Copies of this chain bind each other. A is one copy, B any other.
Amino acid sequence: MSFELTKEFLELLNSAIQKKDTLWMKKNLFILHHADIAAIINELEFENYSYIYSLISEEIKPNVLVELDKDIRDNIIRTFSTSEIAEQLEYMDSDDAADFLIGFSKEKVEEIIGKIKNIETAEDIVDLLKYAPNTAGGLMQKEFIQAKAEWPVNKCVVELRKQAEQVEKIFTIYVVDEKNKLIGYLSLKSLLVADPKTKISKLYQSQNIISVKISDDKEDVARVMEKYDLVSVPVIDIQNKLVGRITIDDIVDVIKDEAEKDFQLASGISENIESSDGVWRISRARIPWLLIGLLGGVFGAQVISLFEGGISDVPQLAFFIPLITAMGGNVGVQSSAIVVQSLARGNDQFDSILKKLQKEALVSIINGLLLSIIIYGISFFFHSNTLGLVVSISLLTVIISSAIFGTLIPLLLDKYKIDPALATGPFITTLNDVLGLFIYLTIGVVTYGI
């Protein structure tokens, strides 16, 4: 079972808040999972959510805080003193605590860290703040369980009990040598099943130890965890020393964000926005793409104006302008999308560009021929044989050229370390529009002999 937030629940809660009915809240709200409490607070008005937040028990507060929407969290924190913030950080996992501090000024961060009572916690956070947020270092947490190879199982269990208090979720015990270098791992299961006197060195797994380097890109970490079906991965520094671990819940966010970013770029939205963001922010995220589209339209107008005489002689030529531009755009987006996805998955690195182009050209010839035959029939029936010929030959040419550009451009962008997903959006549509118009009108003017 999981809690489903309903309109009715929100209404009951709002009336409980008005009546200051803390008994109702205790029975119905505060018994919930912290993720649900956060989801509920996200739906409340300011005066209500700060009131509710103040009633949450101290141990749960940091968990709720981490899950809140950014703007709501910022509003709540604004009412805190630096020592209150420091107190909340002590309860958080080190990676959440470090992420939490990212929005603050350098001076404020120093002040907050200075007020953290547990020195080790403070040191862990300071250490994590050194790493760029999009690297393994920026994702990792300092809470993990490690054991020395020479320990027997019973000593290991005793040590683990000490360490385990710090670590919320244990998946794997990392085994290190005397220099703290990662040499293997051990599942809790094998510890549970083993004889207490066996040495760890006889139990641990030393083959195929999967780890990531502290400077690895977060998308590479995601790929590694996905490939090997890992729930946590150890992070090592350049000397192979174990410095942290990354858990799958953080990687799920990376995978989702990456996929959403590609989708938004393909849809012509340049920043990671949500539908709950403000009107100005949404406008700003969209305008760059619309300007590209506008510029493309202006170029398109210039191309058509070159053929003004032709169009005033044969106005039917204008009829199929939208068809040609739309098809060029659609084919270009289809071809680029598949390249972008295979680049994102990191596969196909062994197919040469030439092989990819050949394949796309072949697909576009098949689809182009089919569509050209259909459009020839339609325009012959409604208009004339000549127009049918012009439109169908142009369509075939435009489909093939759009497929080739759609394949080449993301590959080129990727080669120059630019995000290839940029190519799937209005950019490629616009380019293919202008190109398609030129092809179509040239063929038209030549065929009609204008």
Residues on A facing B (Cβ under 8 Å): 1-2, 7, 10, 31-33, 35, 39, 43, 157, 160-161, 164, 167, 169-171, 187-189, 191-193, 207-212, 224, 226-229, 231, 248-249, 251-252, 255-256, 259-260, 262-264, 266-269, 273-276, 279-280, 282-283, 286-287, 289-291, 293-294, 296-298, 300-302, 304-305, 308, 311-312, 315-316, 318-327, 329-331, 333-334, 336-339, 341-342, 345, 347-348, 350-351, 356, 359, 362-363, 366-367, 370-371, 374-375, 378-379, 382, 424, 426, 429-430, 433, 437
Q: How far is B208's CA from A293's CA once the two chains are assembled, in angstroms?
A: 50
Cβ contacts under 8 Å, A334 to chain B: 267-269, 286, 289-290
The answer to whether A228 touches B259, judged by C-beta atoms less than 8 angstroms apart, is no
Q: Which residues of B contact A227 (CB under 8 A)?
A: 2, 35, 39
Listed by A's residue number, 30 A-B pairs whose Cβ atoms lie within 8 Å are A1-B210, A2-B210, A10-B350, A33-B228, A43-B350, A188-B188, A231-B249, A251-B252, A252-B255, A259-B259, A263-B263, A266-B267, A279-B363, A280-B366, A282-B338, A282-B359, A286-B363, A287-B370, A289-B330, A291-B371, A293-B327, A296-B323, A297-B324, A297-B375, A301-B319, A301-B379, A304-B318, A304-B319, A312-B312, A325-B326
The reply to whether B192 and A32 form a contact with Cβ atoms under 8 Å apart is no
Q: Which of A207, A229, A264, A342 has the most CB of B within 10 A?
A: A229
The residues of B that contact A375 with a CB separation of less than 8 Å are: 294, 297-298
Q: Are B286 and A301 in contact (CB under 8 A)?
A: no
A348 lies within 8 A of B171 (CB): no
Candidates B211, B319, B363; contact of A283 at CB < 8 Å:
B363
The reply to whether A275 and B350 form a contact with Cβ atoms under 8 Å apart is no
Chain B residues with CB below 8 A from A325, complex form: 322, 325-326
Give min CB distance, A254 to chain B, whole Å.
11
Contacts of A279 in B (CB 8 A): 359, 362-363, 366
The CA-CA distance from A345 to B276 in the complex, in Å, is 12
Q: How far is the CA of A35 from the CA of B338 in the complex (A)?
A: 24
Which residues of chain B are near A356, meaning CB under 8 Å?
Answer: 275
7 closest residue pairs by CB, A with B: A297-B323, A259-B259, A267-B337, A300-B322, A301-B319, A275-B342, A229-B249
